Amino acid sequence: MASSMIHIAVASELNKKLNRDKSKLLIGTIAPDISKLIGESKRITHFVNDETESDSIPDLDLFLKKYKNKINDDFVLGYYIHLFTDYLWFKYFLTEIWTEDMITKLDGTVVKCEGRMALQYIYNDYTNLNINLIDDYNLDLKIFYNEIPEIENIITEIPMNKLFLIVDKAGEIIENTKVHKDMVFNMKNVHKFIETTIDLITDNLKELNVL
C-alpha cells in the first residue's frame, strides 16, 4: 500500500478543489489501513476482489457498487481516494522498483528479495518519503492530534469506534519521520505519481458528479 503520507498528500491536494471537511476527508483517507491494527483482512477493508489473484489491488467498482450513493460524504470520499491511490500504486508505480522478486535501490543496487523481505525494504523507505512529503506539500497534520470529529457510521467494513487507533498511528508515524534508512524511492518519481494520481482521481470524481 502507498504510505500514509502519500495518501494524505493526495487527499490534501484534492481538497483544494473539493473544499470538504478536511478532518473527515483525511481521516477517511487513512481509515482503510486500520486493518493492520485490528487484525482484519486487508482484502475486506481494501475491497479486494476474492476472484482476483492479487491480494493488494482494490476493486474500485466493488466499493462503488456498495457506496456510490454515499460518495459525497466527506469520510466516504476520503476512503475512496485511499482505495484509488492504492489501486494506482500497486498496479502501475510499485512495479517500477519491484519486479520478479528483485528490488532496485536508489543507488542502482539490485537486491533479490521475496515477499516480506521486499515489503520491509519498501516500508522502511516510507520514513524517508514522509520527511520529504510533509515539507514538499506543506501538510497540515494537526488534525491527527485533535479530537476525532463525529463521523457517520456508513462504511461497515471497518469498526468506526476504533478509528482512534489509525489516527493515533498516523501521529506516531509523524513523530518517527526523523529516522533515516536506505532509499528505494526516487522522490521525483513519487511526486510524479502523486500528481498523476490527483489528475486521474479528479477526472473520476467528475464522472461521479462529485466535482
Compute, in degrees rounded to 10, the torsion defined by CA atoms 189, 195, 93, 164. 110
Question: For the residues 31-54, what does the mean pLDDT come to?
Answer: 87
By the 8 A CB rule, do 12 and 137 touch? Answer: yes
Q: Kindly tell me if the per-residue pLDDT of 189 is higher than 70.
A: yes
Question: For the residues 117-128, what does the mean pLDDT come to?
Answer: 69
Structural element, H or E, at residue 10: helix 4-18
Q: Which grid coordinates are listed for 117? A: 523481505
Q: Which of 45, 33, 47, 4 is nearest to 143 (CA)?
A: 4
> Which of helix, strand or coil describes residue 194?
helix
User: Given this model, what pLDDT does residue 91 score?
Assistant: 86
Q: Kindly tell me if the per-residue pLDDT of 121 is higher than 90.
A: no
Euclidean distance between CA atoms 185 and 105, whole angstroms: 7
Question: For the residues 172-194, what does the mean pLDDT come to?
Answer: 73
User: Given this model, what pLDDT does residue 79 score?
Assistant: 98
Sign of the torsion angle spanned by Cα atoms 110, 113, 117, 118: positive
User: Given this model, what pLDDT does residue 117 score?
Assistant: 66
Q: Kindly tell me if the per-residue pLDDT of 45 is higher than 70.
A: yes
By the 8 A CB rule, do 125 and 183 touch? Answer: yes
Euclidean distance between CA atoms 186 and 163, whole angstroms: 32
Q: Tell me what percent of the residues of the chain surpass a pLDDT of 90.
A: 53
Q: Kindly tell me if the per-residue pLDDT of 54 is higher than 70.
A: no
- Per the prediction, the chain carries an average pLDDT of 86
Question: For the residues 63-82, what does the mean pLDDT come to?
Answer: 98
Task: Quickly tell me which residue has 481494501 as its cell.
Answer: 46
Q: Which of 108, 145, 110 is nearest to 23 (CA)?
A: 145
Q: Kindly tell me if the per-residue pLDDT of 29 is higher than 80.
A: yes
**By CB neighbour count within 10 A (0-12 exposed, 13-18 middle, 19+ buried), where does 136 fall?**
middle
Reported as a single tens digit per residue, the pLDDT across 129-150 is 787 888 899 988 888 888 899 9
Euclidean distance between CA atoms 193 and 139, whole angstroms: 17
- Output the DSSP codes for 22-69: HHHHHHHHHGGGGHHHHT--HHHHTT--TTSS-SSS--HHHHHHHHGG
**What global pTM score does this model have?**
0.89
Angle between helices 22-30 and 163-175 (to 10 degrees): 90
Angle between helices 22-30 and 4-18 (to 10 degrees): 150
Q: Kindly tell me if the per-residue pLDDT of 60 is higher than 90.
A: yes
